[in-house]
Structure 1
Amino acid sequence: MNADGRHVVVVDLGYGDAGKGTVVDRLCADGPVASVVRFNGGAQAAHNVVTPDGRHHTFAQFGSGTLHGVPTHLSRFVVVDPLALAAEAEQLNAIGVPDPFELLTVDAEAPLCTPWHVAANRLRELGRGASRHGSCGMGVGETTAYALRHADAPRAGDTLAPARLRARLAAVRDRLTDELGDLGGPSVDEVVSVFRTFGAIVSVVDGPATRRRLLGSGRCVFEGAQGVLLDEWFGWHPYTTWSTTTFENAETLLAEAGHGARRLGVVRTYTTRHGVGPLVTEDPALTAALPDRHNGNGPWQGPFRVGHFDAVAHRYAVEVVGGVDALAVTHLDAPGRAPELAVCSAYLVDGARLDRLAPGQRGDLAYQERLTALLGRARPARLDRPARWAATIGALLAAPVLMESYGPSTADKRIWGRTLASAA
């Protein structure tokens, strides 16, 4: 493990949408950063960054340090969608990033999301009817599931081998069509052409060698996607993601290169989630009082829901990940707009008070289903409004608050200590 602790891993301790992008953006403004490394998820990420001069971008696959000129590395744990990546590059170019692809390296082992994965994802979710699990409809989970079933799943490195690429893309289309029926979309030849272009203009690299170089050359920020409460093994099954949303993937990548990092957990002053699944502290009045211009109702994710700060659920997330070194608390301006906003530190479940959710064993989805059922019966035992929000949240989660965010832009952040690393 590196001695200076200069690298930082950023993970959302909720259901996503806590502000990972704006936190990473601020860290990248705080001095030289060698790279932002993405370590889970894919094009479904929606990390909003607003600059002091008013530019806005919703980062999906590019890292949230891009507007500072910080390169992005997509690790083997990221599902890469070349079509969505091209669209995002155009958006970045339009707000002043001259050539976003020059700032990008992609691990050759990263799985590729195709139009047929996206179509299959949407068909499956529609087929669940009233029992929908919640999905972004971007094919990320479908791509992951396919890669687990098939050793010949297309990878980023295949874009440099035309014959292998074509065979693997045709296999995706044929297998998913045989299973689900006609998926529509472009022909195999059209997708091959686009993916070969991707391989020609993007630096597809040997992942381990690239990470050793990046981690040895300066500070790296590892940017997570989604949130711990959606984790594939520790979230409220089945309302989860096909992704490990804890620190695990990032720490695997770091350990492979002989490095360590500080763990930064991100929470809002209120708890939110997109779509179906437990949200014990949900309050429709808060949803109305705290509209989020960067998060709304979507045809696939469903409604954007708001609740009081759920210390029980966030403490569970901290316990699941094995603790955090520090917290970034965002939306500290929200309590001033919502005088009814409060903190829930315990539940009532079947008449009994509960202040801790015990994590289960990795892979025990039956246990996670039982937790989901329990949360369906839970209600806040008590709601208290703190005088000092950041300090209260830090005390409830047993971690120091090293970043406070009072608005959407880089200028709205405070870091206690010159940099996160120097506060170690």
Structure 2
Amino acid sequence: MLKSADVVAGLAWGDEGKGKITSYLASSGKYNYVCRWAGGSNAGHTVYINENKYKTHVIPSGVFHGIPSIIGPSCVINKTSLYSELEYLHDNGFDIHLVKISPRAHIVTDEHILLDRERLAPALGTTGSGIAPAYADKAARCGVRAEDYLPKSMIWDEKLEGNVLCEGAQGVWLDLDWGNYPYVTSSTTLPYGACSLGIPPQKINRIYGVAKIYDTRSGTDPIFPESLLEDQILSRLADLGEEVGVTTGRRRKVQWLNLDKLIHSVNMTGTTDLIINKCDILDKLGVYKIIYNGRVAQFNSLTDMIGFVKARLSERCHLLKNKLFSSSPLTL
């Protein structure tokens, strides 16, 4: 019997450190399943286990902790990428039999990838992984599903019991509906998407919203103009934070934390527990700025900046119970 579900969701443009948070929570021993609810191999998660660094794309982080890891029905699967990821995990000593795929998940074909790379990647800066064409065929009712394509041994029986941890991909401002369309992903990134796993909304308990102390964006988006790459201070911040995409290897554009957008995403997602990562990176830079009420505000220290951010969040985010500012890539 399903008892409850917790959700980890990105509050920005992806790359917030959701993999770290999911792995940390999964290590508690509380959860019986870790499930991914949307997206595909276009996403990238970085996890540290015993100080060793691992990178995954579509496989949930529960596999690192011996927990059944489910790729849900709203995900899209590139068979080649999936098998490569499974081989990588097996070679590093993890039990890949824990990974199961929903029979309803759709398959990314070679034709999808070719179409993405020829038409979408040049115009929108996509990863060229075939994600949008796969979702387009799903909506057009002409897609191929995992149950018709993958071995039965890999297929999930669609049962969830006990406590479930739902792992999101990307972030609020890449959501198909809420992002800066058309510079968006092709799926739902908000926490309600976790219900596509067959979880009733009433079973959702805590929502862990994840952000960084500064904003980053991969791909094309007028909100993040190319000129940001030429800003010396922000470029230095990108270097310190190693802001390079896990999937594409592209350098991410960096901007000061937009507190207005963060407050909006916290409220829209119903975040109960907020984790803001990479505070140590901003402290190494020694420049402390945010965007608030449409203007850049500067502070004398990280302590002063965090104090201001906490106060504004407390004033304007009434569902928020806990706020944590993290300075470690390994733990909270």
Normalised by the length of structure 2, the TM-score is: 0.87
Structure 2 partner of 1:39: 37
Matches within 5 A, 1:363-378: none
Q: Secondary structure at the match of 2:287?
A: coil
Q: Secondary structure at the match of 1:80?
A: strand
Q: 1:408 Cα deviation (Å)?
A: 1.7
Q: 1:14 Cα deviation (Å)?
A: 0.3
Q: Secondary structure at the match of 1:407?
A: coil
Q: Which has the higher strand share?
A: 2
Structure 1 partner of 2:303: 387
Tell me the alpha carbon deviations over residues 287-313 of structure 1, each in whole angstroms, 9 at most, x when there is no partner: 323426764269968531111111012
CA–CA distance in structure 1, aligned partners of residues 245 and 46 of structure 2: 16
Structure 1 partner of 2:312: 396
Are 2:320 and 1:405 aligned? no
CA–CA distance in structure 1, aligned partners of residues 92 and 276 of structure 2: 28
Are 2:110 and 1:115 aligned? yes
Q: Secondary structure at the match of 2:106?
A: coil
Structure 1 residues 155 and 252, CA, compared in 2 at 3 Å: closer, same or farther?
A: closer
CA–CA distance in structure 1, aligned partners of residues 246 and 272 of structure 2: 34
Tell me the alpha carbon deviations over residues 158-217 of structure 1, each in whole angstroms, 9 at most, x when there is no partner: 12xxxxxxxxxxxxxxxxxxxxxxxxxxxxxxxxxxxxxx41441x1343xx1xxx2x32
Structure 1 partner of 2:287: 340
Structure 1 residues 302 and 56, CA, compared in 2 at 3 Å: closer, same or farther?
A: closer
Tell me the alpha carbon deviations over residues 249-287 of structure 1, each in whole angstroms, 9 at most, x when there is no partner: 113545448622211110111111112211389554123
Q: 1:64 Cα deviation (Å)?
A: 1.4
2:256 is aligned with what amino acid? H
Contact kept in structure 1, 2:6 and 2:206, CA below 8 Å: yes
CA–CA distance in structure 1, aligned partners of residues 63 and 245 of structure 2: 27
The count of aligned residue pairs is 322
Structure 2 partner of 1:313: 261
Tell me the alpha carbon deviations over residues 90-125 of structure 1, each in whole angstroms, 9 at most, x when there is no partner: 11122221x41x101211111111121111110112
Structure 2 partner of 1:245: 189
Q: Which of 133, 139, 146 does residue 142 from structure 1 map onto? A: 133
2:7 is aligned with what amino acid? V
CA–CA distance in structure 2, aligned partners of residues 287 and 44 of structure 1: 24
Normalised by the length of structure 1, the TM-score is: 0.69
1:121 is aligned with what amino acid? D
Q: Secondary structure at the match of 2:151?
A: helix
Contact kept in structure 2, 1:18 and 1:267, CA below 8 Å: yes
**Structure 1: runs of 5+ lacking an equivalent:** 160-197, 348-379, 414-424
Matches within 5 A, 1:10-409: 10-52=8-50, 54-97=51-94, 99-100=95-96, 102-125=97-120, 128=122, 132-149=123-140, 151-159=141-149, 198-202=150-154, 204-207=155-158, 210=159, 214=160, 216-217=161-162, 219-253=163-197, 255-256=199-200, 259-277=203-221, 278-279=223-224, 283-291=231-239, 295-296=243-244, 302-321=250-269, 323-347=270-294, 380-384=295-299, 386-387=302-303, 392-397=308-313, 398=317, 399-409=320-330
Structure 1 residues 17 and 79, CA, compared in 2 at 3 Å: closer, same or farther?
A: same
Deviates more, 1:334-343 or 1:247-256: 247-256
2:289 is aligned with what amino acid? A
Q: Secondary structure at the match of 2:104?
A: coil
**Structure 2: runs of 5+ lacking an equivalent:** none
Q: Secondary structure at the match of 1:291?
A: helix
Structure 2 partner of 1:172: none
CA–CA distance in structure 1, aligned partners of residues 276 and 7 of structure 2: 15
Contact kept in structure 1, 2:43 and 2:247, CA below 8 Å: no
CA–CA distance in structure 1, aligned partners of residues 244 and 213 of structure 2: 18
CA–CA distance in structure 2, aligned partners of residues 147 and 120 of structure 1: 15
1:220 is aligned with what amino acid? V
1:115 is aligned with what amino acid? D
Contact kept in structure 1, 2:7 and 2:191, CA below 8 Å: yes
Structure 1 residues 230 and 248, CA, compared in 2 at 3 Å: closer, same or farther?
A: same
Structure 1 residues 298 and 223, CA, compared in 2 at 3 Å: closer, same or farther?
A: closer
Structure 1 residues 66 and 294, CA, compared in 2 at 3 Å: closer, same or farther?
A: farther
Structure 1 residues 294 and 303, CA, compared in 2 at 3 Å: closer, same or farther?
A: closer
Q: Secondary structure at the match of 1:65?
A: helix
